[in-house]
Amino acid sequence: MKDIVVFTGSAHPALAEEICNHLGLKLSPAHLSRFSNDCLQAQLLVNVRQRDVYIVQPLVPPTQDNLFELLLMINAARGASAAQITAVIPHYSYARSDKKDAPRISLGGRMVADMIQTAGADRVLTMSLHAPQVQGFFTVPVDQLTALGVLAEHYRGRDLSNSVVVSPDLGNAKNASQFARLLGVPVAAGSKRRLNDDTVVIDSIVGDVEGRDAIILDDEIATGGSIMELLARLRDYACRHVSVACTHGLFAGHAVERLRGSEVLDEVVTTDTVPRPDGWPELEVISVAGLFAEAIDRIHNGRSVSKMFRGVDPAYAPPDALFADALF
C-alpha cells in the first residue's frame, strides 16, 4: 500500500477517513482555499510523483463547489506527475442529467464526465449511477459498485414471508428485482409520472402488495416526493409495515421532516455515500467504506473489481453462468 495516496475534498471527509482505515493508510493532507474573488485553489501536501492517487469526493451540495474542488485536486495531481489518478465519486449527482428530454436542454452528465477527464483523471470509481448509460459518457475506465448486497444484509434474519420489494417507478425495477432475489421475496413497481423536481404522481402499483410488508428500494432519495407518494398508494393497499432502503440518502429540502412525520413508515435505511443529515438520529446508515477500500485495493493490484459482486448482481456473473440462466 506504500504507493497508494488518498486525498479528500470538503464533501465527505469522514467517508475518506474510513476508507483509509480499511486500507491501513493515513489520509493524506490537502489544502483547499478560496481567494477574495471567490476562486478556489487546491494544493496537495504530500509527494505524489509516480504514485497511485485516489481522490474521494461525492458530488453533494454545495455541488458546484465540491465538483470544482475535485477538478482542481485532479489537476494538481496530474501536474505533480502522479502515475495514475482515480476520481472516487461515491455519488455522481449529475447522472440524473443523462438525456435530452426537452428542447435545447443541457446534458450535464456528459459535460461533467468530460470535465473530469480533461482535468486529468485516468479512472473513475463510483456507486449506483442513476442511469446505466452514464458509464458510457466517460472514455476512461469506470468501475461502478453496488450497495444492494450490504442493504440486503440489513434485512436478512427477519421474517420476510409476507414481504415484497417495491420500486417507486419502472425505471428502477431491475435493481428492485435483483434486491428481491437476494431476499427471496416478490417484487412490485409503481407507475410514476414526474411533474417537476419535487412533485410526482404514482397512478398504480404493478404487482401484489395488498396487505403485505413493503420494502421500498430506490437508488436515491432527494426531496422524498416519490417516496411520500408511494407511501400514500401503499396505505391504500393496506400495507402493514413499510421500510425504505436507498443507496444515496441526500434528504434535501423538507425530506427529513416529511419522512420522519410519516405514520406509515417504520424505518429508513441508507448508506454513507453522502454525509448523514442533521436531526435524524433514528436513521439507519450502513457504511460502504469497506467496498470502496476493497475496490481501491483491487484496482491498485490489477485485480477484477467485478468479482466483488458475484452472487449479488447477475450483470457480474461469468458468461457461462449467464448462458446457464438463459437455458434453465
> Which of the 8 DSSP states describes residue 99?
S
Contact between residue 152 and residue 179 where contact means Cβ atoms under 8 Å apart: yes
Q: Which helix (H) or strand (E) holds 218?
A: strand 213-221
Identify whether 307 is a catalytic site residue. no
d(CA 192, CA 205): 9
Contact between residue 148 and residue 182 where contact means Cβ atoms under 8 Å apart: yes
User: Of the listed 99, 100, 174, 192, which one is catalytic?
Assistant: 192
Return the residue matching grid coordinates 481501491: 296
Q: Is 71 helix (H, G, I), strand (E, B) or coil?
A: helix
- Residue 1: which of 54, 40, 45 has the closest Cα? 54
d(CA 286, CA 41): 33
Helices and strands (H and E) in the chain: how many: 9, 14
Contact between residue 214 and residue 189 where contact means Cβ atoms under 8 Å apart: no
The residues annotated as belonging to the active site are 192
